[in-house]
Structure formats: structure tokens, C-alpha cells
Amino acid sequence: MIWKILKSEFKQWQLIGVITVMLLGFSIILLSARFYSDIRPMFKGSDLWQHEHIIISKKISQQNTASQFLGKGEKPSFSKEEIEALEAKPFIKSLAVFTSSSFQASAHTDGNLLGGFYTELFFESVPSKYIDLKGENWAWTSESDFIPIILPKSYLNLYNFGFATSQNLPQITEKAASSIPFRIQIRGNRKIKNYEARIVGFSDRLNTILVPQEFLDYANPKYGTKVVPVSRIVLLTPDPSDPELLDYIETKQYDYNKEQLNNGKARMLLNTATAIVIITGLIISALALWLFILSSQLLLQRNRHKIEKLKALGFSTTQIVKPFVRISIFVSAAVFLLSLIPYFIVTAAYRKALQTLLPDATVNHILILLIGFIFIATLSAFNLLIIRKKLSRI
């Protein structure tokens, strides 16, 4: 009955206009979420929205090399003043120095494992928050006889696709490499200590042999013969493409991985593009919601006298708002269902090309559509809340 009284004033073109505009905005939001979900695995090992890590060092010149051969020069390193100057820069969020081992170390396996593997090696460490791998095993105390080690993923790739291929040796996976136990011998200051060790992970970010910071803080004073100067620093920056940052590094003639900055720029570009598209979709959806609310307000105003009479006859606000609930549900359902058409058409168009880059990538359609459903339902609930508030004032 109430709907029959009110529907004569509701124009169909208004409803079609609202659905069309909301469909455009909502489709953009859905496709942006899907695109972000598809592209994100390409930047594996780093959250797209986190700050970028840059590793810098002093450049080594021929003069440095010659003087070191003659025993007259020191290795290029960062002074305390240079580190403090870096910390004070606004384009650097934080930094940490690499701590290097100052003792002799070697690793070996049993004779029946890998043919009795033996090698001399070195260690470095940085605070845990700068490491892209974390786990329960990444801890060490002075009472522990076990050293967890993180290797660069590039080391494993060099072995598998270089050494193993050329020497006809078996290639190994990360899991297999992490299951191989070996022993570490530390020597220095006329002391020797043996530790059990195992690889606990492979880093994409840090190209060095990592051990816990606590281990080097303990072992360097005990077994080390000298203080090792700071030769490398890891920087945490909000924007790796910041011209001030790049100019500063170039002016100081620091060495850094240019490819690493290119990856950071790509991430920043993806972040910006995704944010712009999502914001555009939100603005369009907000304008559509405003149009829907405006249409509902206009309908209420046109039927003000009828609504007053209905209230006088004893109809409650809840009863009067039911037609608007039906309209809102209809619009929400129409927008959600119609948005599935461009969603699946567009994603199918680029999905085949994307699978060549990420053959193992999977997409959780249910999660994306659930988020979309919650979003559209929230908009409808907000619209009904405004209508109900307006009705209560009539």
C-alpha cells in the first residue's frame, strides 16, 4: 500500500542513472583490487606499502687498491660523522650499519655428507627489523651452541645454475639446503670454539652471510683481533626515487645497487597508480551514493504530505521506510551483479598474459567479491540511515 502511494513520484530514469554511475565506480574498485592482488606477487619479499631498503658502501678506487697492496692504506669506510649526517637527512627514515666478523671462521660437513665440504667464510649482521626473513630460529644467546645462518638467494642460484650445471652436480632446493647440518669453527685470540649451524632461510634483500646480531656482539670481542670499520650501511627510505636522496648519494660518491632502486621505483609507481584508481572509484561511488540519496530526499519531499497522512493514520517510520529498503536492496544487488560482467571480462583479458610471468599465482575471487559486497552493503546501509533520519523529522 505504502509503495503504491510513493512509487508514482519515483522516476525510472533516476533509478537507471543511479545504477549506472554506481556500477562504474564499483567496477573500478573491484578491478583495482583484483589488479593489485595479481601484481603484488611480482614484488615478492616486500610489502608494497612498506619503506624501501637501500644498501650503500664507499666506492673502491684503484688508488685504494694500490695503497692496500703496499700496506699503506685503509679500506674505505664510513666515519661516525658521515653516519650521523645520514641519520639527520629527512629522506631517510632510519639506518643500520653492517657489523662484520673480526675473527677467522670456517664451515665443514661430515665426510659422508656433500663429500666432506669445507670452506673459509665470514659473517655479517644487521638488526632483525632490516632482515626480510624472520622466524623462531632466528635467535641466539651466549649459552647456545647453534648458529642460524641466512644466505643470499643469489648464492643458491649461482650454485644451481652455474657450478652444479658445469660440474654435473645435483641441484638443490631451498628446503633441501636448509636441512643440511654443518659445523662452524671460530678461531681468534688463541681460542677455538665449534658450533652447530644450519641455513634457516635465503634473503632477497641482503647479499651477505647473515648471523644474528647477538652472536657477533658476543664473538667479536672474544675472538676478534681488531675493530672492523663500518663498510656498508642499510638505509630505510619512504621514497627510493626521491631526487634529494639520489643527489646526496651521487654527491657523496657512495656505491649502491641501481637495480634495487629501479625495483623501488616500480613499487612506488604501482602504489601511486593503484591508489589513484581506487580513489577515483571511491569518488565515483560517493557521487553515485550522493545522487541516490538526493533522489530519495527528493522523493520524500514530493511525498511529504502523503507521509504525514500515513503517520497520522498510525503507520510507523519503520513501515514507511520499507519501500526505500526494497529500492536500496534492488540497486545494491543490481550494481553488484552487473559489476561481475566487466570484472570477469577484463581480468580474463589480461590474466593469460600475467600467467606467463607468474605461473603459480592464484587469486581468491571469493575474498575480493566479499570485500566488494561488504562495501556496497555499507553504502546502502548509510543511505537507509539518512532516509530513516529524514523520515523521523517529518
What percent of the chain clears pLDDT 70, i.e. is strictly above it? 71
Q: Is the Cβ–Cβ distance between 237 and 54 less than 8 Å?
A: yes
For residue 80, which amino acid is it? Answer: K
Residue bearing cell 565506480: 25
Residues 6+ apart with CB under 8 A from 382: 289
Chain-centre distance for alpha carbon 348: 25
Give the model confidence (pLDDT) of 54-88 as tens digits. 889 988 877 777 777 777 667 888 989 999 999 99
CA nearest to 36, candidates 222, 276, 229: 276
Do β-strands 191-203 and 232-237 pair in parallel, antiparallel, or remain unpaired?
unpaired
> How big is the chain, counted in residues?
394
For the segment 4-46, what is each residue's pLDDT rounded down to a tens digit? 555 555 566 766 777 787 777 777 777 777 776 776 665 554 4
Q: What radius of gyration, in Å, describes the C-alpha atoms of the chain?
A: 32
DSSP codes of every residue in 115-157: TT-EEEE--EE--GGG-S---TT----TT--EEEEEEEHHHHH
Q: How do the domains of the chain map onto residue ranges?
A: 2-46+265-393, 52-257
Q: Which residues pair with residue 94 across a beta bridge?
A: 236
Q: What are phi and psi of 13, to 5 degrees?
A: -65, -30
- What pTM does this model have? 0.59
CB atoms < 10 A from the CB of 288, how many? 23
- What is the per-residue pLDDT across 150-209, written as a single tens digit (0 to 9) for each? 999 888 888 888 888 887 878 888 888 888 888 999 999 989 999 999 999 898 888 899
Q: Count Cβ atoms below 10 Å from residue 129 Cβ, excluding itself.
A: 9
